[in-house]
Amino acid sequence: MVNKMNAIDKTIELPIEDKKDSSVSLLVDNTAMMTNGESKQSPGTLLISAREKLGLTQRQVAEKLHLLPRQVEALETNDYQ
């Protein structure tokens, strides 16, 4: 069976501003998330790692994504209800 992720197995660059108002890039490599169709880390774990790497709080991420802080918290805990 062909891995469906192969077609989009590229690095995606998402612009995010840091606390100093300069632009930084968050690189998400789909190969790190998927191997043979199985997730190595949950989406919530990936979001936490990226947020912490950038030194952002849940509130800051929520503001940048136009979400409520509780929605970011739910995403980080893989609560999709």
Beta strand 11-17 pairing with 23-29: antiparallel
Q: State yes or no: pLDDT of 65 exceeds 90.
A: yes
Beta bridge partners of 14: 26
Token representation of residue 1: 């069976």
Q: What is the pLDDT of residues 39-50, one digit of tens each?
A: 589 999 999 999
pLDDT band, very low/low/confident/very high, at 10 (cuts 50, 70, 90):
very low
Angle, CA 25 vertex, CA 21 and CA 31 arms, to 5°: 160
CA distances from 15 to 12, 27, 66 (A): 10, 9, 15
Q: Tell me the average pLDDT across 20-42.
A: 55
pLDDT band, very low/low/confident/very high, at 54 (cuts 50, 70, 90):
very high
Angle, CA 54 vertex, CA 50 and CA 59 arms, to 5°: 85
Instruction: Kindly report whether the global pTM for this prediction surpasses the value 0.85.
Output: no
